[in-house]
Amino acid sequence: MTLLRLAPPLTLGLMAVPVAAGLAGTALPAFGNGGAGFARLLDWPGLPRAAALSIGTGLAATVLSLALTVLILAAFAGTPAFARIRRLIAPLLSVPHAAAALGLAFLIAPSGWIARALSPEVTGWETPPDLLILNDPFGLSLTLGLVAKEVPFLLLMALAALPQVDADRRLTIAATLGYGRIAGFVLTVLPALYRQFRLPTYAVLAYGMTTVDMALILGPTLPPTLSAQITLWMSEGGLARRDMAAAAAILQLGLALCALTLWHCVEIVARHLIRATAFHAPRLPQLDRPATLAAHLGSLAVAGSLILGLAALSLWSVAGPWQFPDALPESLTLRTWDSAAPALAATAGTTLGIALAATATAIALTLACLQAETAEHLVPTSRALTLLYLPLIVPQIAFLPGLQTLALRLGLDGTALAVATIHLTFVLPYVFLSLAGPFRAWDGRIATTAATLGASEGRIFWRLRLPMLAGPVLTAFAVGIAVSIGQYLPTLLIGGGRVETLTTEAVALSSGGNRRLIGAYAVLQLLLPAFAFALATAIPAVLWRNRQQMRGLH
Amino acid sequence: MLELEALRITRDDRLLVDLTLAIRPGQVVTIMGPSGSGKSTALAAITGTLAPAFARTGRIILNGNDISSLPTRLRRVGLMFQEPVLFPHLSVAGNLAFGLPSSVRGRQARQARIAAALASAGLDGLADRDPATLSGGQKARVALLRTLLAEPAALLLDEPFSRLDAALRAQIRQSVFDSARQAGIPTLLVTHDAEDARAAGGPVLSPLGGTLPL
């Protein structure tokens, strides 16, 4: 019992301490040397544009993602289309950011799959056109990639919150009062629903502004987004560069805070607008058709760009000769896989080892926290929930450079163990969010019944609660694996370039031209989490093949 | 013998329960009242699962021992809820084995005890079944067997018959009361149904201690 008590502070510490220490480690060199870092940063001519790109792509991606999410929910909630979307969310969510970005790049590049499919018949192109579609100077392809990756995340968060706000009955009441679907949803469900996914939206905004892997693959180059430039400076090395990178990281943190504050103000205005609109009771049924059409197109674009992009990656990994205007390769071959097998296997092994270590630790800590909550009758505070989101909202680029400097000083960088430890910081929130709901929703009368039969707390946990929660635990495990495999910046910086995972390799390869090898790395990056999710579905199905209630059949 | 000595439970200064009573072995005492009147709160105090928001004074004595502050699992107080609350991931036999004391050693001995218990309730051959596939009456009987196999020194019934249809209700009620009488277990029934209270045959009290006429 006493050990259990330590679990919540330990877990919060594992999330808060790296963030705090990293921020301090970034601030010291940034403000040290009489502010030389900032002086050099201000002399860099690319600064205004890099900063504008960061703000612009981040805000645009967040607005679009949120709008599309709300549109999909409003147009499809309770329809058969919704059930189809629901089934797609988990697999799409498990696609690592880098793989999604690479897939999109393989689709929309001037020599990408779309151009090949349309050439030469539609476009008349015999050679790839000289267009800057990928890495476009306005960050449009980066924004598109971010939207494709964030909509499934926001949808998942919304799905968990919908039953809590009694959405079905509110929508029915709005419909019986003559409201269209869109108006009914926005006026009766959205305000309560948004309160539930405000923190996830902040995470999306902060991530969108500061992503490095997606920006390196899809974003502009001269200059790149601020975060991407910071990473480039960090990897160039040299003390002057580091001070400049640290100053830029502090600036990036400030920009993110400004954007979050702006977002919060818009929230308040929007809340008043919705309330004022509701007073005039516009039914707006004429919105339903165009909105449903837009939701269809939007969800098709998101799912399509992810799925086709991944198909393009897979196809390239087994492609023989593939000349430009051809829609398909001349032949299929396993040569790429064959020749890269030793390197692929080693990298996949490292990736999986780190992911398993971080996830297993995260699951154990999360279960200990939740069990402590039960045993000690602790009530989770909203402050604890905010702390949980801390590593997701504070931009990685703001605190990881500082943490790398600290790790370097302490001689802790560059090992798989150090990388797994920093992965734990990012895996923990997702594992906790995924597991807390089912754990808390577990029927407490079962514990009471068992206790009256003489069972100890330990026996109730190991024999009843844990087995009954096997499904959610395995799902949380798969989520953790997917999060860990997707980490780019922590792996790059804390690994000091010496710990190679599928993600760091795939991003490193992306600047070169070997599409077959990129495809192989990205496919493997994709398959590992997919395999974890498949296991999380298959194991409970086998375990509970003779237990109707455990499979949700009553 | 189960005795409540001035058992008083309050929440936010509101008195919910005020009971002093003694239940002899085999006797069934009923607490009756509308929902929200504190009936189930009294049971939670006796099982030791009272939420921290409630304040309790007074003592709970079982066979001469004060169990007021013991953890639930050491109280030897059996409990049956409105629903059977069978463990959905275990078979019928697994559910019964969970209640059977570990002092019954060896796989064969335990299986024999479970089979005998099932046979005594007319449930022969259901050992390997998924509890979800049982009928309502069968589930109630399995829940009762599981409770009795743990050899409780007192039995608490939290409206255990209210979910059953009329015909089944009388039947299950009778077998629960008969089992408690045979085993000589003092039993406390909580219900809002006067017919349950009549069938119990013992005194009927309100949660605040007054005797109720039937």
Q: Any idea where the domains of chain B sit in the sequence? A: 1-76+152-214, 91-151
| Closest by CA position to A428, among listed A10, A3, A92 | A10
For chains A and B, what is the number of CB pairs under 8 angstroms? 77
Residues of B in contact with A452 (CB under 8 A): 47, 72-73, 75, 77-79, 147, 150, 152, 156
Q: What is the pLDDT of residue A259?
A: 94
What CATH class does A32-333 carry? mainly alpha
- Look at B76 and A449 and tell me if their CB atoms are within 8 Å: no
Cα distance between residue B161 and residue B166, in whole Å: 9
B77 CA: distance to closest CA in chain A (Å): 6
Class of domain B1-76+152-214: alpha beta
Distance separating alpha carbons of residues B99 and B113, to the nearest angstrom:
11
Determine the pLDDT at residue A554.
Answer: 41
Q: Which tokens is A46 given? A: 């690319």
Q: Which chain A residue shows the shortest CA-CA distance from B155? A: A452
Say if CB B202 and CB B181 are below 8 A apart: no
Q: How distant is the alpha carbon of residue A37 from its chain centre?
A: 31
pLDDT < 70 regions, chain A:
1-2, 552-554
Say whether the ipTM exceeds 0.95. no
What does R_g of chain B's alpha carbons equal in angstroms?
17
Burial class (CB in 10 A: 0-12, 13-18, 19+), A399: buried
Which amino acid does the sequence have at A525?
Answer: Q
Q: Tell me if A463 and B98 make a contact (CB, 8 A cut-off).
A: yes
User: Are the Cβ atoms of A453 and B147 closer than 8 angstroms?
Assistant: yes
The class (CATH top level) of A1-31+337-544 is: mainly alpha
Give B-chain residues touching A554 at CB under 8 angstroms.
Answer: 132
Buried b (16+ CB within 10 A) or exposed e, A2-21: eebeebbeebbebbbebbee
**A437 touches B33 (CB < 8 A):** no
Q: Which of B47, B130, B156 sits opposite A546 (nearest CB)?
A: B130
CB-CB under 8 Å, B75 with A445:
no
Say yes or no for a CB contact (<8 Å) between B47 and A448: yes
- Chain B CB contacts of A446 under 8 Å are 85, 87
Q: Is B83 on the interface with A (CB under 8 A)?
A: yes
Q: What is the pLDDT of residues A19-55, one digit of tens each?
A: 998 888 888 888 887 778 888 888 888 889 999 999 9
Q: Which one of B72, B88, B152 has the shortest CB-CB distance to A468?
A: B88
Instruction: Tell me which chain B residue has its CA closest to the CA of residue A443.
Output: B85
Return residue ranges of chain A for CATH 1.10.3720.10.
1-31+337-544, 32-333
Per-residue pLDDT of chain B (214 residues; tens, 9 = 90+): 999 999 999 999 899 999 999 999 999 999 998 877 788 899 999 998 888 889 999 999 999 999 999 988 889 999 998 888 899 989 999 999 998 988 888 899 999 999 999 999 999 999 999 999 999 899 999 999 999 999 999 999 998 888 888 888 888 899 899 999 999 999 999 998 888 999 998 999 999 888 887 6
Strand order in the sheet with B187-191: B77-80, B154-158, B187-191, B28-32, B204-205
DSSP A163: G
